[in-house]
Amino acid sequence: MLLLLFVFLWISPGFALDGNIGKFWQLSDVHFDPEYSQHGNPKKQCHFTNDSIGNPGYYGNYLCDAPFNLVESVIENMRNMEAEPDFILWTGDTAPHVKQKSLEDVLGLIRNVTTVLKEAFPNTTVLPLLGNHDAFPSNQMPLVESGTQYYDNILSKADWSELLWKHEQDQFQKGGYYSRTVQKGLRLVMLNSNLWYSMNKQVTGNLDPNQQLAWLRQELTDAKAAQQKVYIVAHICPGAFERLQSMTWFYPEFNRLYVDLITEHSDTIAAHFCGHEHTDSFRLVKDAQGTTSSLMYLSPAVTPLKSPLPGVGANNPSVRLYHYSRATSDIVDYQQYYLNLTQANEDQGRQGKWQLEYQATQAYNITDCSPRNFYYLSETFHDASILFKLYMDYNTVSYNNSAMCGQACFTSQICAILYLDTDQYNNCLFWSGTTPQPHHHSTTAPHHTTTHHKRHHLPPPLPQYVYYIIGGMGTLIVALAVTVSCLCVRKRRQGIPFKYSHFVGPINS
């Protein structure tokens, strides 16, 4: 009987008798604002002003970026909940949304969070990457060829030299990206995807900013040769924002090149991890045959800031703990932790209590977090399904559980989940009846203009030429039908007996 119990535990999801299940944290979009004041004005980023009244909150405010109390709280609770993870993914955007005075200010903010993380996890590998707000000015991630010292300064003045090995620092200086093999069969590729961001004017006219695409291709090739699986980690992922229809992140050409590259190497990539959106979502990544081969996990933010984008809203502070197989690199499960900001600020003892919001396998009733299971999960989604309603609650980290999601809202969500390719995403919107016929992007060099522009079972997207074929065939069929009709009428008139002539008019007149 005892033997059967051990066998049952061994095969249960998330349990490994031999300790073969590892854990790692993802911390994203901290957006630490040192000017946050408990006497500040929420309508003015919670900064102290002469007209400040009341207390915007000890741990933060939904109208503002994160105070240092929140930064310390999330990292302290990470340590309390799992003090010895295999590694920590720190996926960018440490600086706040307010305009920074200088690059030195940005570097100081990143250095402060680096220090707190190192003190909390002195023996843990911390792997950082840059967000679009970590540049100065925001979004303007520079090209190395411009002579910038930005990447050197991140290493020396933000203390990332204490997190990265020497050869990783050498690579980072070439464009803000690097890789690390964290164990024999797993390579982490840490991207600077801000170079492809459609708000970055520094890369205008450049076909491969800081040669990152060429480097990524080589990393994936080398990993396959070494029989390694790859986790791709980026601040911004390709595709569209699920909460705002037709808002895409990359320049169209970079989106196409990137999606083509990860499709080509789908057998090597085990998973993708992103931030940037501040929301909790996922994307299905497909191989050349259209089969879901891996997932993009979009982890929500630490900052609770309400987005200025229409209909997007705020979120509760959050952090995520993944469980993965050290043998296969597959993601087995993950736990999403959050701080109910309203309750935490009301707690007079100022003991912000982080809670388990959900565990993926239990919440979504799946055995593990395999791409196949998330594909089947997406198949159950429709605008009235229980699991989709649950997903929508988690999408804002339980900030607004009463929000309704109608057909247009559902379409925005499901098309973003299903299609990373811009043309396929636009076709998905078109077939849902929510947008005009999509414009298909050129495959020539990017113009670099900013492109922030029923049921689940939507018809598959069609190539542009299909529309012309259908139109041509339709015209031909109509022409044939008219011709045949005329011939039939003429023959009928010639063959009708005289006694029926009062129904059809005179014959042979």
Each residue's pLDDT tens digit, 460-482: 444 444 444 555 565 666 566 65
Q: Is the dihedral of CA 231, 232, 236, 239 positive or negative?
A: negative
Beta carbons of 333 and 14 less than 8 angstroms apart: yes
- In sequence order, which residues have a C-beta less than 8 Å from that of residue 442 and are 6 or more positions away? 252
Write the DSSP symbol of residue 248. Answer: B
Which pLDDT value is given to residue 347?
83
Each residue's pLDDT tens digit, 173-182: 999 999 999 9
Domain 16-404 coded CATH 3.60.21.10: yes
In the chain, what are the domain boundaries? 16-404, 464-504
**In whole angstroms, what is the distance from residue 316 CA to residue 322 CA?**
19
**In whole angstroms, what is the distance from residue 88 CA to residue 70 CA?**
18
Query: CB count, 10 Å around CB of 362?
Result: 13
**In whole angstroms, what is the distance from residue 73 CA to residue 339 CA?**
9
> For 320-335, what is the mean pLDDT?
98
State pTM to two decimals: 0.84
Each residue's pLDDT tens digit, 401-458: 777 888 999 999 999 999 999 999 999 999 886 665 555 444 333 443 333 333 444 4
Write the DSSP symbol of residue 35. Answer: T
